[in-house]
């Protein structure tokens, strides 16, 4: 499984990358905002996207919308990992088609649970 991790903070990308490796996902790539991530997704045969919301350039919610609007990427599972915790934002992300929403700070257990749930649904 090939996973793209998108966050403007490299420390957070490393944290997520290490946690994913711990869960058995070794094939990960990184991008620091939506503008960098989108072409990578379009050209890179990724299976899963983990993205932050608050990023300069293209935000995570715009990346999610762009992914859903792209015929080839529309069905890719997307997990949002973000410090944004307003109800309106969570509802907006759900409407835009997010598959899981984790608020920072989070635990390794939460990440595992959300991934399990997403893969259970996606099959």
For residue 73, the minimal CB distance to other proteins (Å) is 20
26 is an interface residue for other proteins by CB under 8 A:
no
86 is an interface residue for other proteins by CB under 8 A:
yes
Task: Mark 50-77 as b/e (b = at least 16 C-beta within 10 Å).
Answer: bbbbebeebbbbbbbbbbeeeeebeebb
Q: Taking a C-beta distance cutoff of 8 angstroms, is the pair 105, 74 a contact?
A: no
Given 43, 45, 71, 88, the residue binding other proteins (CB under 8 A): 88
Q: Considering only the stretches 13-21, 30-38, 42-50, 66-74, report the one whose residues sit in contact with other proteins under the rule CB under 8 A.
A: 13-21
């Amino acid at each position: 499984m090939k996973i793209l991790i998108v966050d403007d903070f490299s420390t957070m990308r490393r944290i997520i990358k290490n946690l994913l490796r711990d869960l058995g996902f070794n094939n990960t790539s990184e991008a620091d905002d939506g503008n960098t991530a989108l072409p990578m997704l379009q050209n890179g045969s990724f299976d899963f996207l983990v993205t932050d919301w608050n990023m300069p350039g293209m935000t995570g919610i715009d990346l999610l919308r762009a992914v859903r609007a792209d015929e080839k990427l529309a069905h890719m599972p997307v997990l949002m990992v973000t410090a944004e915790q307003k109800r309106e934002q969570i509802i907006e992300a759900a409407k835009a088609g997010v598959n899981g929403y984790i608020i920072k700070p989070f635990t390794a257990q939460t990440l595992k649970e959300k991934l399990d749930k997403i893969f259970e649904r996606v099959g």
